[in-house]
A and B are shown apart, each in its own frame.
Chain A
Amino acid sequence: MRVFKGTARLIRLALRRDRVVLPLTIFLVVIMVAGSIPALYEAYPDTAAQTSYVASAATSSVGRIFSGTVQGANLGSIVMAELYFFTAIIVAIMSIFIISRHTRYNEEIGAGEMIGSSVTGRSAQLSAALALAVCANILVGLLLFATLAPAEGLSVDGAALFGASIALVGIFFASIGAITAQLSDYRRGANSLAISILAVSFLVRAFGDALGELSADGLSVTASWISWLSPLGWGYQVLPFSEQNYVALLLLFIGASALILLSYTLMKRRDIGSSIFQAKAGPNRAPSYLLSITGLGFRLQRSQLYAWLTAFILAGSMITVVANDYREAFEETELFQELLAPASGSFTDTVIASMFPLIAAMLSAYVVATMIKVSQEETSGRLEQLLASAKTRTAWLVSNSSLIAGGAVLCFVVMGFFGGISYYIAADTPETEFMDIVISSGFNIPAMLLFLSILTLVFSVSTKFFKSFAWFAYAFVALIGSFASIFSWPQWTQNLSPFSHTPLYPATDIDYGPLYVMLILAAILTVLSIVIFSRRDLQLK
């Protein structure tokens, strides 16, 4: 087959380029599943604990949205409810990124043209990317099978179906990525289009599951037909530990195959470097708001900010509704008693106060991703152009980090606000004050600003290792928040994360002390960053 000539060679090239990020992603997915299994045993050791959890998940709207349709009081239900959602989302995003990196991005930087001019077939680049994505997903599936199969209370064939379902969801979204890479003329456009499709299929599945029918014993839910409109719904409806629905697997397989065939057709109909959708024309003149360092910074950060605001709103609503709906399940579990704050307030006070800092640590990816984007202004050479104009480095650094800080403040206020609203909608007799929810969320602002100022300081010293440092720091704070108490790591590891120092209001009295300390530290580090940044050479090609 001449059109495929060179595919094997290009697969080796792709493997070489992804030799760090791909194994790391796969490792993280598997280790999070493997690490959660003992925690789930500990939290839900017997039928009584499992029953109260499943009963809450079956009746709670948020439970249905994030956990899907539970199938009776057993460990399989809980594994699906707790682990399927995040595993599926991560493999889907991983697959989308693999495809765009090795197809559209190659063309964007001109490498696609050079590869195309060598002895390679027309289909080689797309085929190499798809082959890599398919293999990566099969590997994830096999590793998940190996992780879950020995677990007590889970069947071996269930574990196999869980792995197969996750792998096929990943392959399905690789095929979506293969389509969007033909449609959009640049990588970020292709990625955001594919991720929007992922978000829509999540929403359709969530809506369908929320409308599902509750069984007579209140421990099982049958999804409504709407869930069957979503590829994520098919993945979930494989129901590996109960019904074992092979039709859902087949749907994923047929869907992915059809989309892959379509992506080849689209690819053959376009020229290398071009796309099915043409880039829209922009304005001749710049709007006046754009004509400043801050205006430009806002323009460059705004689409990210809107996406993160949505994430904060969802997270806020989820926390408060879970605090209300899962009340019984939580009250009966010893593990949660350990995890939750030393309580003096009501039960929902305690859950809300403990959950906000955990979620804040997870969502600190917002400042990490945005600060990395800002740092790329320097490495791309665009900062050179800006600073060759009559603007100072200090002005540039201050306006960009202020924009991120302002975005973070907005995110927490909005998270508290929507958390409060959702709670008052969900709760029959609210026992936590609305403003207390907003304040509890807002109390995470100093920790977030401190985290941002640490990132800024490292960036001000050098851009060289900034990106790796930033993601490493993120992995640390995100994992510390969730796992340190579960695995009883020493206290000092927890103390390293700013989010461990947020006062657990409203479960405890207001204590401004740590907030002031964190704000002052953040201010000192920011000033230090400005001084260091204004003294170093720009990193230029």
Chain B
Amino acid sequence: MATENVIEIKNLTKEFGDFKALDELNLTVQKGEVHGFLGPNGAGKSTTIRILLGLMRKTGGSIKLFDEEPWGKNVVLHKRLAYVPGDVNLWPNLSGGECIDLLADLRGGIDEKKRATLLKLFKLDPTKKFRTYSKGNKQKVALVAAFASNVDLYILDEPTSGLDPLMEATFQEYVRGLKSEGKTILLSSHILAEVEALCDRVTIIRDGSTIETGALGDIQRLQHTQFEVETEKSAKSLEKLSGVHNFNQQGNTVTFSVEPKKLTSVTKKLSDLNVTHIVSHPPKLEELFLQYYDKNKARKDA
């Protein structure tokens, strides 16, 4: 079966006057996947989402949501999606319950059973005035409103930045449930553990451009593998080998990372050093993220 793309963005640019917020950005989200959308603050994540929602106009490139250009198509497209912004600001005098009903209804209807379940799951009291909620509870209002709508796509822009670890777990469990129902989720987040736990594929952007996209495993495979090794003989010689980076020695223990192409030569050399203990793992998302960030910065400085 051919994979169907729910979101297809190619070479998207957006200019605000002289400032280029998006510069040739690419993003593809397939039907039924949880897609992580990563980037440092100000990279252009929210701008991309707002163009996707038809709230802002693109300057160039192509953008498709459910196979349609989103600008001016609110009514058709938005019945099929729910959006949770990073900064949830609703009507201060309406109760949480009223906000939930209103937002879900304007999207095309509310699932009563889900509403009741979600309120219990997230431990949210819907009778408080919106202005009296804490940051985390404001986000819960938006999350409940989104999840209680029967839609195909959920666009979540840093939805859990104010949630406690317990609620974070509840959120992850719920998103997994949605995925098993075949729903599509675009998740922009700074909580990389959350992205690692939930996402099938990720797209990393910086300064308005895509710098990496693909399955998390594939990306990790392309990157340096981390080693922590304890040896009987001195491992000092490893530092000089080509393809070895971030070398660090403390007594008998050394840590370093190795480029994928040099793995064979480095491991051959290792076996001569009488290894007593070895830990090797693919780079964590956080390490990846920092790597990309530094690489990009280096490129820019040069």
Chain A contacts for B56, CB-based, 8 A: 537-538, 540
Number of B interface residues at 8 Å Cβ cutoff, please give it.
42
Contact among A185, A293, A380 with B106 in the assembled complex (CB-CB below 8 Å): A293
Q: Mark A377-401, 1 if CB is under 8 A from B, else 0.
A: 0001110111111111100000000
Inter-subunit contact B75/A391 (CB<8 Å)? yes
B1 → A minimal CB distance (Å):
29
Give which listed residue, B50, B57, B106, B128, contacts A540 with CB less than 8 A: B50
Q: Mark B250-293, 1 if CB is under 8 A from A, else 0.
A: 00000000000000000000000000000000000000000000
Does B183 count as interface, using CB distance less than 8 angstroms? no
Contacts of B50 on A, CB cut-off 8 Å?
384, 538, 540
Which listed residue (B81, B97, B108) contacts A283, Cβ 8 A? B97
| Contact bitstring B37-65, A, C-beta under 8 A = 1, else 0 | 00000000010001001111100000000
Interfacial residues of chain A within 517-541, with CB under 8 A of chain B in the complex: 534-538, 540-541
- Roughly how many angstroms separate A279 CA and B46 CA in the complex, as a whole number? 33
Q: Which residues of A contact B92 (CB under 8 A)?
A: 186
Decide if B72 touches A290 in the complex (CB within 8 Å). no
Q: Is B105 an interface residue (CB 8 A)?
A: yes
B74→A387 contact, CB < 8 A: yes
Whether A280 is near chain B, meaning CB under 8 Å from some CB there, is yes
A290 and B78 in contact, given A380-B89, A387-B53, A391-B106 (Cβ under 8 angstroms): no
Chain A proximity of B57: nearest CB distance (Å):
6
Min Cβ gap A519→B in Å is 29
With A293-B106, A390-B106 as known contacts, state yes or no: A385 contacts B85, CB within 8 Å: yes
Q: Is the CB of B91 within 8 A of A382?
A: yes
**What's the least CB distance linking A539 to chain B, in Å?**
10
Give chain B residues whose Cβ lies under 8 Å from the Cβ of A540.
Answer: 46, 50, 55-56
Q: How many angstroms from the CA of A385 to the CA of B97 in the assembled complex?
A: 16
CB within 8 Å of B: which of A309-334?
Answer: none
Q: Name the contact of A389 in the complex, choosing from B89, B106, B129 (C-beta under 8 A).
A: B106
Contact at B90–A382, with CB atoms within 8 Å? yes
Nearest chain A residue, comparing its CB with the CB of B131: A186
Q: Main secondary structure on chain B at its contact with chain A?
A: mixed
> Is the CB–CB distance between A390 and B107 below 8 Å?
yes
Q: Does A291 contact B (CB under 8 A)?
A: yes
Contact between chains at B74 and A283 (CB < 8 Å): no
B83: min CB distance to chain A, Å: 4
The answer to whether B98 touches A282 (Cβ under 8 A) is: yes
Is A114 among interface residues, defined by CB-CB distance under 8 A?
A: no
Q: Is B191 an interface residue (CB 8 A)?
A: no
Instruction: Give the chain A neighbours of B72 by CB distance below 8 A.
Output: 534
- Give chain B residues whose Cβ lies under 8 Å from the Cβ of A389: 74, 78, 103, 106-107
Cβ contact of B89, chosen from A292, A381, A538, cutoff 8 A: A381
CA distance A292 to B91 in the complex (A): 14
> A284 an interface residue at 8 Å Cβ cutoff?
yes
Q: Is the beta-carbon distance between B91 and A282 smaller than 8 angstroms?
A: no
A300 contacts B by Cβ under 8 Å: yes
Q: List which B87-107 residues lie within 8 A (CB) of chain A.
A: 87-92, 94-98, 100-103, 105-107
Tell me, in angstroms, the Cα distance from A296 to B91 when the chains sit together: 10
Q: How many angstroms between the C-alpha atoms of A72 and B132 in the bound complex?
A: 55
- State A300–B106 Cα separation when bound (angstroms): 16
Q: Is the interface of A mostly helix, strand, loop or mixed?
A: loop
Question: Which residues of chain B are near A387, meaning CB under 8 Å?
Answer: 53-55, 74
* A243-282 interface code vs B (CB 8 A; 1 in, 0 out): 0000000000000000000000000000000000001111
Bound-state CA distance A292–B104 (Å) is: 11
Tell me the complex Cα distance, A534–B72, Å. Answer: 8
CB within 8 Å of B: which of A168-195?
185-186
Q: Is A286 an interface residue (CB 8 A)?
A: yes
Which chain A residues (486-541) contact chain B, with CB distance < 8 Å?
534-538, 540-541
| B96 CB, min distance to chain A CBs, angstroms | 8
A19 at interface, CB cutoff 8 A: no
CB distance from B22 to the nearest CB of A (A): 13
B75 touches A282 (CB 8 A): no
Q: Which residues of B contact A280 (CB under 8 A)?
A: 129
Q: Which residues of B contact A541 (CB under 8 A)?
A: 87
Specify the chain A residue showing the minimal Cβ separation from B115.
A285
CB within 8 Å for A385 and B74 given contacts A279-B129, A537-B55: no
Size range of the chain A interface in the assembly: 35 or more
Check: B79 CB closer than 8 A to any chain A CB: yes
Tell me how far the C-beta of A106 lies from the nearest C-beta in chain B, rounded to whole angstroms: 15
B97 touches A382 (CB 8 A): no
CB B228 to nearest CB in A, in angstroms, measures 42
CB proximity of B50 to chain A, nearest CB, Å = 6
Closest to A534 in B: B72
Whether B75 lies near A285 (C-beta < 8 A) is no
Task: Find chain A residues with CB under 8 A from B98 CB.
Answer: 282-283, 285-286, 290
Q: Are B102 and A296 in contact (CB under 8 A)?
A: yes
Q: Which residue of B lies closest to A287 (CB)?
A: B98
Q: Mark B219-253, 1 if CB is under 8 A from A, else 0.
A: 00000000000000000000000000000000000
Q: Is B214 interfacial (CB-CB < 8 Å)?
A: no
Is there contact, CB below 8 Å, between A386 and B132?
no
Interface residues of A in 84-140 (CB under 8 A from B): 108
Q: B127 at interface (Cβ–Cβ under 8 A)?
A: yes
Say yes or no: A286 contacts B89, CB within 8 Å: no
Asked if A286 contacts B101 (CB within 8 A), the reply is: yes
Specify which chain B residues have a CB less than 8 angstroms from the CB of A384 in the assembled complex.
50, 53, 55, 85
Contact present for A279 and B107 (CB under 8 Å): no
On whether A388 and B83 interact (CB within 8 A), knowing A382-B90, A538-B50, the answer reads: yes
- The answer to whether A382 and B89 touch across the interface, beta carbons within 8 angstroms, is yes
Give the residues in chain B near A388, CB-CB below 8 Å: 53, 55, 78, 81, 83, 85
Could you say which residues of chain B place their CB within 8 Å of the CB of A381?
85, 87, 89
Question: Is the CB–CB distance between B106 and A282 below 8 Å?
Answer: no
B136 within 8 A of A: no
CB neighbours of A385 from chain B (8 A): 83, 85, 88-90, 103, 142
Bound CA–CA A386/B90 (angstroms): 10
In contact, B55 and A291 (Cβ under 8 angstroms): no
Q: Is B126 an interface residue (CB 8 A)?
A: yes
Indicate which residue in A284, A380, A393 contacts B127 across the interface (CB closer than 8 Å). Answer: A284
A-B contact pairs, 30 of them (CB 8 A): A279-B132, A280-B129, A281-B95, A281-B129, A282-B94, A284-B97, A284-B127, A285-B97, A285-B101, A286-B94, A290-B98, A290-B101, A291-B105, A291-B106, A380-B89, A384-B85, A385-B88, A386-B106, A387-B53, A388-B83, A389-B74, A390-B74, A390-B79, A390-B108, A392-B75, A393-B74, A537-B56, A537-B57, A540-B50, A541-B87
Q: Which 9 A-B pairs have the closest CB atoms?
A: A282-B95, A286-B101, A389-B106, A388-B83, A286-B98, A390-B78, A284-B97, A291-B105, A537-B56
19 additional contacts (CB under 8 A) given A281-B129, A384-B50, A390-B106 = A108-B131, A279-B129, A279-B131, A283-B127, A285-B97, A286-B105, A291-B101, A292-B105, A296-B91, A296-B102, A382-B89, A385-B85, A389-B74, A389-B107, A390-B76, A534-B72, A537-B56, A540-B50, A540-B55
